[in-house]
Structures are given as C-alpha cells and as structure tokens.
Structure 1
C-alpha cells in the first residue's frame, strides 16, 4: 500500500477487486473482511482508499473466476484419473514383458498392452490439454483482476501469465513467479510450502514424461522398453501427487479474489 497515506481507518473495497470490504487500520490492511453492500456504487477511486489508482487503471474488463475455476478443478481431477489408469496399464505391461521374457506370457499380451497404452495416452493427453487451457484462461482473468485494482501488483502483464507457460526454459520458472504474484496480491491462504510442493511435483512430472518418451523412442529391446515404462509410471505418480495441490492453489486463490456470496 502507499506509504504515508492520511486515509483514516475504516472499511474500504478490497484491493484485489473482490466483492467484499476489508478493514484498513490507518497503516495497513487487516484480515477482517465483510461483504460489500448490495447496490453500492462506491469504488476504490471514488472513496480514495489507500493505494488507489486513477480510474484509467481500473478500466480493464474483470471477468468472473468461479466458473472457469470449477471447470479447471474438474479437468485436473479427470487428468489425475487418467494418470492413475496409465499407472495400472504400465504396471500390467511391465508384468506382461516379464512374462513374455520368461516364456509364460504370449505375444498377444504385449499387443494388448500396446493397444491399451495408446488409448490411455490419448485420453491422458486430451484431459491434460483441456485442463491446461482452462488453467491459463483462469490465470489470465485472475491477473486482469488484480492489476485492475493495482497495476503494480504483478511483475508481468496478464498476457505474459499465459505466454510464459509455452516458452521453453522460461516455463520452468516464470509461471511459478506469476502464480506467486497472484497469491500475494490476493492475500490467498496459500503458504509458500504448498506452492513450492505443487510446482516442484509438476516440473518433476513433466520432466520425467519427456525422459520416458525419449527413452521409448530410442529403445530397441524389451529391457529398453521396460526402463522407459518404469520412468513413465513414476512420472504419472508424480502427476497424481501434484493434482490435489494444484486444486488447493486454484481454489484458495479464487476464493481470495472472488469471495463466494454470503
């Protein structure tokens, strides 16, 4: 907030542009919140709350978050379910390869594994893509919302909140920083450990998926395929572990930015 402000203590519109009032103690914002009065025409600029910016800075279209957040949550859980199916298929495939090597399983078992793994891989890729699209839409809207209240609340523009996910190398760090900015600006109940574990598991899972794919392409023997499948299985377990953490980060940030009607 702006230092040296003479704004008296009182209830003012929340700095994150949510539909609530938050108490300013004359020095800083407190955690005390209350719903905004229905039909109130007060705005941050009209009452001059601490840290307010000119009206031009709040002209961006602020779109709802709860709908897209709900869709993203569902798709994250669907993606985790497909990862669980992948784990089952990979475990079964490893057993089939071992049986074939020992002469106790027919070649048809390996052919069935190929069919099942192709189907599950397609379902997994589709669900992950859908979840990713919804996530970046949600993050873009969240970034627009916090910057509408305070243009200096994030180090990057809403567009960069989307683009940074798709740029090699940058995608390993910028999205994490962007999410941290949103959490800090919204005062969401997301601790650094939660954010760090989610991001660490996500980066690890995507890294092992890439390694598994390259190992599978380069494999020219059953032991080579088995090694690639083991790495793939581990990657899917990491994806499953990251899913509930992603849902928590998404939900808590959404609740802070757009409190539910009371």
Structure 2
C-alpha cells in the first residue's frame, strides 16, 4: 500500500451509523405492522358480534351461545392489542428520539426544543397532542434537501400531517367508542358501539401505515442529506 493511500482520510459518516438507523427503523416498522394486524383481528372479531346481533324495528336479538363465543373472541382481540401496543410505542419513540438527535446535527437552528423533548413530548397529557407533531415538522424541515441556488426553500410536510391527523383522530375516536361500549346496556347499543370500535380500529390501521411511510421517508431523507453534506462523503 502506498504512502498516499495511508494518508488518505477514511470515509466517515455523521453521528450514528447506517446500521443503527436501519435497525431502529426496521424494528419500529415491524412493530407497527404487528399492531396493524392486531387491529385487523379486532375488526374481524367486532364484525362477528355486529353480524350476530339482528336488529329489526328497534329491537335486537342474538343467539346466546354464539354471542358468548363472539364476546370471548373480541376480548382476546382487545388483549392482543394491549400486549403489542407498548413495545411498538417504545420502539417508535426510540426511533423518533434517534432521528431528532441526528437531524439536529444537520440544522440545529430549525428546532425549537432540545432532543429530550422527542421523548418527553409524548408523556405530557394534552401537550402530547401537539409537541410530537411540532418536533416531527422540525425534523422533516431539517432533513429536507437544500434547494438549488436561487430557488425558494420548500418542505412539503403532507406525510407528517397525514400520519399525525390519522393518529390523533384514531385515538380520540377510540376513546369515544370505548365510553360508548362501557355504557352500552342493550344489544342495540352494543351493536352501535362495536361498529364505532371497528371504525376506530380501521383508523388505527391507516395511522400505522402512515407512520411507517413517514418514518421510512424521514430516515431516507436524513441519510441522503447527511451523507451529501459530509466532508468525507467522497
């Protein structure tokens, strides 16, 4: 090996490694897929209850044995949702924090709060309906490629808006459906509440898909910009 090759600086990447980025993204995406599957299972179980309850002229009836089996399946689906949700939330927030920390190195002036808020923002009641979204918008702007000379800076944030809109709406609708289901006393009320739960689960599925798209796009944008701006990228 020549002396010139020995003195040539090795290629270096920004803080963090591509492997860690891909690993966190893959884990969070897989967890979101499992959550979506559990929601799909809940929609199926809810549909069984909905179809078993026959409604005619304001009266509802259902075969007792079949309804008990449907309720048991629905409870199983709810338990499965609860089991997979927490690991998914932990993995997604871990990816969210990692991305906030590293996009902050690209454009620190675009952030209004420190990296710790990428975790803390999810934990503050009521504020968690806004803070993570604000951080996501800042991350998206920091990772957006710089425009060519003379062009205006534009950062289309529709993937952020789509993900956050579906997440918030599905959460609120789920709370509403849960309150209706708990207060339901007649079969007609139970049937209506189950239908609302199914709609909330469908929104959860859409939110999970939008979250994966948002995460993949943002991670890709970050690494493209970080690599392009690195003095060792050649």
Could you tell me the TM-score, scaled by structure 2's length?
0.79
How many residue pairs were aligned? 208
Q: How does 1:79-94 map to 2 (within 5 A)?
A: 79-94=35-50
Stretches of 4+ aligned residues off by more than 6 angstroms = none
Contact 2:140–2:157 (8 Å) recurs in 1? no
- The separation in 2 between residues aligned to 1:39 and 1:225, in whole angstroms, is 65
- Of 242, 249, 253, 2:207 maps to 242
Provide the residue aligned with 2:184 in structure 1. Answer: 219
- The separation in 2 between residues aligned to 1:251 and 1:231, in whole angstroms, is 30
- The separation in 1 between residues aligned to 2:90 and 2:82, in whole angstroms, is 12
Q: How does 1:118-129 map to 2 (within 5 A)?
A: 118-129=75-86
Could you list the runs of 5+ residues in structure 2 that have no partner in the other structure? 1-7, 146-153, 228-232
Residues 38 and 95 of structure 1: is their aligned pair in 2 closer, same or farther, counting only changes over 3 Å? farther
What root-mean-square deviation, in Å, do the aligned CA atoms of Structure 1 and Structure 2 show? Answer: 2.8
Could you tell me the TM-score, scaled by structure 1's length?
0.71
Residues 102 and 141 of structure 1: is their aligned pair in 2 closer, same or farther, counting only changes over 3 Å? closer
Provide the residue aligned with 1:147 in structure 2. Answer: 104
Contact 2:97–2:119 (8 Å) recurs in 1? yes
Contact 1:215–1:228 (8 Å) recurs in 2? yes
Contact 1:190–1:253 (8 Å) recurs in 2? no
Q: Structure 1 or 2: larger helix share?
A: 2
- The separation in 2 between residues aligned to 1:213 and 1:256, in whole angstroms, is 38
Contact 2:24–2:91 (8 Å) recurs in 1? yes
Structure of greater relative contact order (alpha carbons < 8 Å, 6+ residues apart): 2
Q: Is residue 176 of structure 2 the alignment partner of residue 205 of structure 1?
A: no
> SS of 2:90's equivalent?
helix
What CA deviation, in whole Å up to 9, does each residue of 1:45-101 have, x standing for no partner? xxxxxxxxxxxxxxxx646321011011111111111111111111111112227x6
Provide the residue aligned with 1:136 in structure 2. Answer: 93
Q: Is residue 10 of structure 2 the alignment partner of residue 39 of structure 1?
A: yes
Provide the residue aligned with 2:148 in structure 1. Answer: none
